[in-house]
Amino acid sequence: MAFPPHPNEESSPTPSAGLLEIDLAAIRANYRLLQARLGQTQCAGVVKADAYGLGASRVAPELHAEGCRHFFVAHFDEALALRPVLPDDSTLYVLNGLTRDAVGACAQAAVVPVLNSADHLAAWRAEAARLGRILPAVVQIDTGMSRLGLAPAEVRTLAQNARAFEGLDILFVMSHLACADEPARAANAEQLANFRAGHDVLASHSAFARARRCLANSSGIFLGQDYHFDMARPGAALYGINPLPGRPNPMRPVVRLHARVIQTRAIPRGVHVGYGYTFEAPAPVRVATLSVGYADGWLRSLGGRGTVYLDGHRLPILGRVSMDSISVDISSLPEGAVGTDARVELIGDHQSVDQVADAAGTIGYEILTSLGHRYRRIYSGEARA
């Protein structure tokens, strides 16, 4: 089946690498499911990395329409890009905190930094003093992941310093779970205990009189109410990635990805396919070349391991993934059934993002965030004003 025209196409009418369909209604439904599970706990939305590659400027307003008011990005420029598309009642948080050259701009844009270190804290406190006003902030404490956040010794030292948080309005104390997608791991309970302990130390400081707590990510929401606190910040689950690996996915799929056939050929036994001649035909094989490669996020590790689907038929990838193309075995289909521009499913009804990730030896996060800009994108299910 060739690519059909679509009224919501977002780029040229001629397909290039392929077609990426993004279901905004599914993202909203996933947000509702997570918020319902959280009950009275606020559900934020993580829209970093361009909403995991799906387009933050389209996704964030949809989350806002569903009731989300707290949005987390990784970098300040991501927050700055989102500010014009979100209503004024939205709060934008920068997970990676402050860079030296963006402190003033961050304050001017009313973006809230996550203070991960004593240096971040000092820079934001100095900016508050320079402006002569109170600046909002989130303080992150390290509870065992050793990635971002104040170490326990720093927490104790700062809590004893009456002026450590001078000029700051601390909105949340947060941390991040390292093993939430493995609910049986003792690390989860250990981090929870460390989070409670670190918060209790900070709570003795007057600057934390109004501070709330935020710990759970997507998988953390499913660890239970003890992990919910005042706000949770899911990301991957919003976009259909399974927060419960090894169990049925409670989230709705968000993405459908199709490539087109560029060329077909029949090769005899003993002929090779692709770079490095890693595949040699053990018998006559019919091969289709598709319009995606590792430059489009179809990871090189899928070579010889991944599959695609056409009309429900499983088609193995033959040989290595190239920059702009892959080759697949169409021998199981009737001769003449596959023509140029035929539409082939990479992600969809027969293969989820998580299944592609398993075949590639990675996680769904990497698959989504790797999808490039050479796809024609279609957004469906927009919220109606």
Q: How many residues does the chain have?
A: 385
Instruction: List the one residue out of 143, 144, 139 whose CA is nearest residue 174.
Output: 139
- Tell me the β-bridge partners of 113: 94
Note the Cα 273 to chain centre separation in Å. 34
Burial of 336: CB neighbours in 10 Å, binned 0-12, 13-18, 19+: exposed
Q: What is the DSSP string of 221-267?
A: HTT-GGGTSSEE---GGGGT--SSTTS---SPP-EEEEEEEEEEEEE
For β-strands 112-115 and 343-347, DSSP reports them as unpaired
Q: Angle at CA 330, nearest 5°, toward 326 and 331?
A: 140
From the list 31, 48, 52, 239, the catalytic residue is 48
Distances (CA, A) of 289 to 154, 268, 269: 56, 16, 18
Count CB atoms within 10 A of the CB of residue 14: 7
Instruction: List the one residue out of 348, 41, 90 whose CA is nearest residue 73.
Output: 90
Establish whether 275 is a catalytic residue.
yes
Q: Which two tokens stand for residue 16?
A: 């290039």
Instruction: List the one residue out of 185, 113, 123, 176 whose CA is nearest residue 146.
Output: 176
Q: Which two tokens stand for residue 91?
A: 């709060």
Point out the annotated binding site for substrate. 147, 323
Instruction: List the one residue out of 360, 382, 381 whose CA is nearest residue 371.
Output: 360
Point out the annotated binding site. 147, 323
The whole-angstrom separation of Cα 60 and Cα 206 is 34
Establish whether 93 is a catalytic residue.
no
From the list 31, 93, 239, 275, the catalytic residue is 275
3-class secondary-structure state, position 19 = strand
Catalytic machinery residues: 48, 275
